[in-house]
Amino acid sequence: MNITTDRLDAVLKAMHLLVHKEVLVGIPADAPERQEEDEPGNAALGYLHETGSPARNIPARPFLVPGVRSAQKRINRYFEQSASAALDGHMEQVDKALHRAGLAAQNAVRAKMTEGPFKPLAESTLQARARRGRIGAAIELERRRRGHTPENANAKPLIDTGQLRKSITYVVRKKSK
């Protein structure tokens, strides 16, 4: 005896869900502004670090694109799981896999911000951070004073207060046309 179940409707709905969704990783433009009022918002600051600003003597320290690339294989596996779930008609599993892909990308970008490698901070930047009470900056200044080169610095150029790093997030949303 054969029992056949028509799951075509579920498969079509799951496929529709998959092809009309996208996973975005980064800093939302409407992310909460930074606590220091004289600084740009997190999205602007992230862009400044990612691309650099020769006019302001800030070197590019890309973290977003390299961070996502570092997790590309894992992210692709989640997309494959999402497609497989769609072909099986499992809408919930499609969504779960997309969220796993977003979380993997978010975590990889945050790790890149922490681990680098990045061009070392300028002495003036470290001094400004030290004046604001940042212990890591004071330690790095002391290391440099003792003859350690900036290339061997253990300071994390993209992490001062941690607000920018915390603002990295992902969303799974309906594709915009």
How many structural domains comprise the chain? 2
- Three-state DSSP state, 112: helix
In tens, the pLDDT along 132-158 reads 888 888 888 998 899 887 765 666 888
pTM for the predicted model, two decimal places? 0.83
Residues 148 and 170 in one domain: no
Domain interval for residue 136: 119-155
pLDDT tens digits for range 9-31: 777 777 777 788 999 999 988 76
**Domain shared by 64 and 150, yes or no:** no
Cβ neighbours of residue 47 under 8 Å, at least 6 residues apart?
none
102: which residues sit within 8 A by CB, 6+ positions away? 23, 24, 25, 170, 171, 172
Residue 123 CA to residue 112 CA, distance in Å, equals: 23
Same-domain check for residues 79 and 140: no
- Indicate whether 129 pLDDT > 70: yes
Q: How many residues can be counted in the chain?
A: 177
The whole-number pLDDT of residue 37 equals 63
Q: Are 170 and 105 spatial neighbours (Cβ–Cβ below 8 Å)?
A: yes
